[in-house]
Structure 1
């Protein structure tokens, strides 16, 4: 490792770079590196690695959020298991290379993986086609077969302690949503889910989805959490109509067993993750070019979504 190059690697330490080279294999040399945009809970770096006549591109994630690590100390092992499961199922995911689970080698818990081709697209010229691509790729993930991983779904919010947010203009709708998620859960069969599926974790190349990244939250759980989480993001980014079009596209191609993702319960369970609020613009959006959003716009769109889900719940009948 050339000690003089350390300053050109976005702050990565010499021992981290040495660890990367050792894990890639004999003759590997990191020749460049840069911090990647979009992540807010960990530091993610794109690396170029020369090995003989070949040049690899890799991604290194270092877990820097101490509160998250306190709650889930096995994050690096979790992402390792998720990447290995996704790869074994033939999904368009990064390939796992190495893991430093406790930061003993790198100073921080770290995961090294291959880099997928493509880029995040948040300003699609063909919005319906783009939404369809998101839906198709998620249905492909949910159709994957393989042994379960040991991590299971849980809600991020304490459902029993929810209260109607102060910032809303439609408190009745939020009250009805809270009543529903505090009631009996809808049935489902656990399947492998991404758990953080949304547009900034999907890569595109030549108008097609080229891969899905950020698998650290993947687990066994209800597929309705993946559709619901993506819809929640789409509502904030583009409005309720876009989220509904995504769900319609997903339902047209997805398997019908395991979980009824059309049940508004799953969308409501994802929506309450916004509480108590008030809504804030996720930094990944402006970092990746979507810079017209404001907290006021998000609040209005979330209220519209809450009202639409309450209307849907009033007419929903759970299939037998």
Structure 2
């Protein structure tokens, strides 16, 4: 078996578990670490068939003690989401096997099919993909599960926000006041809950006459029920940090142009936009590291803090 990365080796118990879920005559011939994940280790497994040919699977394992504690819930949610999406037009990985309590593996793990395509986070190609992201999110919100998933969770409070160094204290105080208010009423929708360019795969073949197209959406561990505004706000914040504040402001417009429906009241929209922006203040270092690993080396922690400050300021200015 070939390891394309020395860290790519699958642990013995997990390797045996995967083997029990392969087709007859198949065997793992290669592993490769997939970078970009924050909460779990992700590996691509190359599986060869006895008569020739091969396919790829993806193995997600929660190894960090903090996430191991929450892995059972995360894996149950992702399992339910992948099962649900198999009968829809939203392309997601197919579930192969799951061990949510590490009964057979070293760590809680999920095995799924591998989707073709790649993420696009460079500041040139990503701009062309924004309308596609908006249409894809509208399609996700159109899914109607027979059993409603658990309600969304937001952990950021007025007391946990981290004001970036050098930011206008008055602006951030006003932003924090926005989330002190009551949660606006909303019509519930099926949410991805971590929808952003890093979790969307594209075919960007230069020779393609139709331009880039989405080949699938991954990382459904946060799938839940809540306001469409929350998913839109999360993608908006990511775009603001990757491309600049103006792109964060534009995404809500792109979502509506694609047929999506957001809160009718501007103050209600602002609540969700600001809430997600402030949530990033607590995890700038963690959120920006995968972007640098993917080639956006200019997105240092400090640079992302400055973009976040500019975006929060832009949100409040647009609302005034």
TM-score, normalising length from structure 1?
Answer: 0.88
Q: 2:16 is matched with which residue? A: 18
Question: SS at 2:58's partner residue?
Answer: strand
> Contact (CA 8 Å) 1:229, 1:270: kept in 2 or not?
yes
> Contact (CA 8 Å) 1:120, 1:204: kept in 2 or not?
yes
- The number of aligned residues is 310
1:214-253 equivalences in 2 (<5 Å): 214-253=219-258
> Contact (CA 8 Å) 1:83, 1:215: kept in 2 or not?
yes
In the TM superposition, what is the alpha-carbon distance from 1:76 to its structure 2 partner?
A: 1.8
Question: SS at 2:112's partner residue?
Answer: strand
> Contact (CA 8 Å) 1:193, 1:226: kept in 2 or not?
yes
Unmatched segments (≥5 aa) in structure 2: 205-211
Question: SS at 2:104's partner residue?
Answer: coil
Q: 1:318 is matched with which residue? A: none
Q: Quick one: distance in 2 between partners of 1:273 and 1:165?
A: 11
Question: SS at 1:298's partner residue?
Answer: helix
Q: Quick one: distance in 2 between partners of 1:301 and 1:133?
A: 23
Unmatched segments (≥5 aa) in structure 1: 315-320
Q: Quick one: distance in 2 between partners of 1:261 and 1:72?
A: 37
> Contact (CA 8 Å) 2:288, 2:301: kept in 1 or not?
no
> Contact (CA 8 Å) 2:141, 2:191: kept in 1 or not?
yes
In structure 2, the CA distance between the partners of 1:115 and 1:163, relative to structure 1 (3 Å rule), is closer
> Contact (CA 8 Å) 1:119, 1:204: kept in 2 or not?
yes
In structure 2, the CA distance between the partners of 1:255 and 1:237, relative to structure 1 (3 Å rule), is closer
In the TM superposition, what is the alpha-carbon distance from 1:146 to its structure 2 partner?
A: 2.4
Q: Deviations over 1:232-257 (max 9, x none)?
A: 11111111112222222111013327
Q: Quick one: distance in 1 between partners of 2:289 and 2:103?
A: 30
Q: Quick one: distance in 2 between partners of 1:291 and 1:50?
A: 36
Q: Deviations over 1:9-36 (max 9, x none)?
A: 8121232222112113322211111110
Q: 1:130 is matched with which residue? A: 129
In structure 2, the CA distance between the partners of 1:16 and 1:68, relative to structure 1 (3 Å rule), is closer
1:25-174 equivalences in 2 (<5 Å): 25-53=23-51, 54-71=53-70, 73-123=72-122, 125-157=124-156, 159-162=157-160, 165=163, 167-174=165-172
Matched, 1:187 2:191: no
Moved more, 173-182 or 297-306: 297-306
Question: SS at 2:75's partner residue?
Answer: helix
> Contact (CA 8 Å) 1:203, 1:209: kept in 2 or not?
yes
Q: Quick one: distance in 2 between partners of 1:163 and 1:60?
A: 34
Of 304, 308, 311, the residue aligned with 2:317 is 311
Question: SS at 1:283's partner residue?
Answer: helix
Moved more, 302-311 or 271-280: 271-280
Q: After TM superposition, where is structure 1 displaced by more than 6 Å over at least 4 residues in a row?
A: none
In structure 2, the CA distance between the partners of 1:279 and 1:32, relative to structure 1 (3 Å rule), is closer
> Contact (CA 8 Å) 1:264, 1:312: kept in 2 or not?
no
Of 288, 292, 295, the residue aligned with 2:294 is 288
> Contact (CA 8 Å) 2:88, 2:143: kept in 1 or not?
yes
Question: SS at 2:235's partner residue?
Answer: helix
> Contact (CA 8 Å) 1:43, 1:62: kept in 2 or not?
yes
Aligned CA-pair RMSD: 2.6
In the TM superposition, what is the alpha-carbon distance from 1:281 to its structure 2 partner?
A: 5.9
